[in-house]
Amino acid sequence: MTKVAANLNVLKWALSRSRKSIPELEAKFPKLMQWLTGQQQPTLRQLEELAKQTATPFGYLFLEKPPTEELPIPYFRTFEKAPPTRISPELLDTIYEMQKRQVWMREYLIQQGHDSLSFVQSVKVDKPVQSVVQCMREILRVDQNWASDLKTWAEALQFLQETMERAGIIVIVNGVVGNNTHRPLDVTEFRGFVLVDEYAPLAFINGADVKAAQMFTLAHELAHICFGSSAAFDLRQIHVADDPIEKKCDQAAAEFLVPSELMAREWQTAKDEDEPFRYLARLFKASEIVVARRALDLDLISKESFLSFYEGYRKRVYLKKADRRPGGDFYATQNMRVGRTFATNVILAVKSDRLLYDEAYHLTGLYGKTFDRYAESLGFIGV
């Protein structure tokens, strides 16, 4: 078989970029170390498989030097002084895929005669936080007490997702790249990102994160849309990076979910409870971690108390998440991974002969009968 002389530096870069361990890759490529030292060379087929296993574009392996990869949108890290890490191919591929969906959606809506969304970039960064909160409430058509009629914070999260979609925002929740369960998204790298567009703004939530934290991420992204600012963020400990817009989005998300006036008043009762944050979570229909963070913002608890609670809560909730068995309704999952509003428009375009099936398959990540059955689950018969 013909051997291929791959650039060793690029090869090492691809392995490092993949975040997979050498032993893990050696299980599939027994001669990997010999390739890395130049003692042997891989075949073309082996190199193609290596590119696949490391999620590296095949052509990259023939470059003269490793390419410099950067996110196409700003990336804000909570702890900027922490050592920089290479952007994962999972995050890159996910953003590129969402950009592709957004471009299609934008062009389709314009062709259909839709107007742009007036709330996108409607707030200046120098405006008071309350201006952003008001923008968020107007988008969703809710008032300060919007969550009072909902039973749980889980219902409140679902309500936010559905009302944002009805307002014209594409909302995606996914914990893997597409439908590839072998390529999970790392919640320590990013909790979400937002791609701003005046016709098809898109909010992406890392589904690998616990739902308790997803509500804050979603509200944070909604504030970004009001400012008209695309970004990816890790929101470590539910805190933001040292950036003016990030700080405003953080403050707006907190005020939207747990209004300061109500929080200060209810704290007088909650502080005497055995579990004050659970009490407040039931009241505001926000997760315990969000109300604890709000108590810190308003100087009702110390930073040490918050961090102690945060770590205990994180361990408890993530352990429950790890113990949860995979499964569930596949098509309900696709509503989150594809986005119900986006999927509906793709299916309508197919039915009206404005989009080929192959293009629809690539846009949704669903192919053949799976695409047809998903369309049926949304009420489209005989697509």
Q: What is the pLDDT of residue 382?
A: 64
321 pLDDT more than 80: no
Return the HEC string of the chain. CCECCCCHHHHHHHHHHHCCCHHHHHCCCCCHHHHHHCCCCCEHHHHHHHHHHCCCCHHHHHCCCCCCCCCCCCEECCCCCCCCCCCCHHHHHHHHHHHHHHHHHHHHHHHCCCCCCCCCCCCCCCCCHHHHHHHHHHHHCCCCCCCCCCCCHHHHHHHHHHHHHHCCCEEEEECEECCEEEEECCCCCCCEEEECCCCCCEEEEECCCCHHHHHHHHHHHHHHHHHCCCEEECCHHHCCCCCHHHHHHHHHHHHHHCCHHHHHHHHHHHCCCCCHHHHHHHHHCCCHHHHHHHHHHCCCCCHHHHHHHHHHHHHHHHHHHHHCCCCCCHHHHHHHHHHHHHHHHHHHHHHCCCCCHHHHHHHHCCCHHHHHHHHHHCCCCCC
40 pLDDT more than 70: yes
140 pLDDT more than 60: yes
120 pLDDT more than 90: yes
Region 108-126: mean pLDDT is 96
Region 57-66: mean pLDDT is 89
Location of structure tokens 């961090």: 307
Q: What is the pLDDT of residue 358?
A: 95
Q: What is the pLDDT of residue 18?
A: 86
Among 153-167, 297-311, 324-338, 342-356, where is mean pLDDT lowest?
324-338
Question: Judging by DSSP bridges, how do beta strands 170-174 and 75-76 pair with one another?
Answer: unpaired
Q: Report long-range pairs for 132-135 (Cβ below 8 Å, ≥24 apart).
A: 132/223, 132/226, 132/227, 132/248, 132/249, 132/251, 132/252, 133/252, 133/255, 133/256, 135/223, 135/226
255 pLDDT more than 60: yes
Among 111-115, 221-225, 293-297, 331-335, where is mean pLDDT lowest?
331-335
325 pLDDT more than 90: no
317 pLDDT more than 80: no
The whole model's pTM is what?
0.89
Region 192-203: mean pLDDT is 98
Q: What is the pLDDT of residue 8?
A: 87
Region 254-275: mean pLDDT is 92
Q: What is the pLDDT of residue 315?
A: 79
Q: What is the pLDDT of residue 82?
A: 56
Confidence bin at 165 (pLDDT 50/70/90): very high
Summary mean pLDDT of the chain: 90
Q: Which residue has the higher pLDDT, 16 or 133?
A: 133
92 pLDDT more than 90: yes
Q: What is the pLDDT of residue 327?
A: 53
Q: What is the pLDDT of residue 83?
A: 55
Confidence bin at 324 (pLDDT 50/70/90): low
Confidence bin at 1 (pLDDT 50/70/90): low
The angle formed by the CA atoms of residues 247, 338 and 157, to the nearest 5 degrees, is 50
Question: Judging by DSSP bridges, how do beta strands 231-233 and 75-76 pair with one another?
Answer: parallel
Q: What is the pLDDT of residue 343?
A: 95
Q: What is the pLDDT of residue 101?
A: 97
Which tokens belong to 298? 């308003």
Of 190, 175, 210, give the one whose Cα is nearest residue 318.
210
Residue 49, Cβ density class (10 Å: 0-12 exposed, 13-18 middle, ≥19 buried) = middle
Q: What is the pLDDT of residue 36?
A: 87
Q: What is the pLDDT of residue 289?
A: 87
pLDDT 10s digits, 210-251: 887 899 999 999 999 999 999 999 888 777 788 899 999 999
Confidence bin at 355 (pLDDT 50/70/90): very high
Q: What is the pLDDT of residue 200?
A: 98
Region 265-284: mean pLDDT is 91
Question: Judging by DSSP bridges, how do beta strands 202-206 and 192-195 pair with one another?
Answer: antiparallel
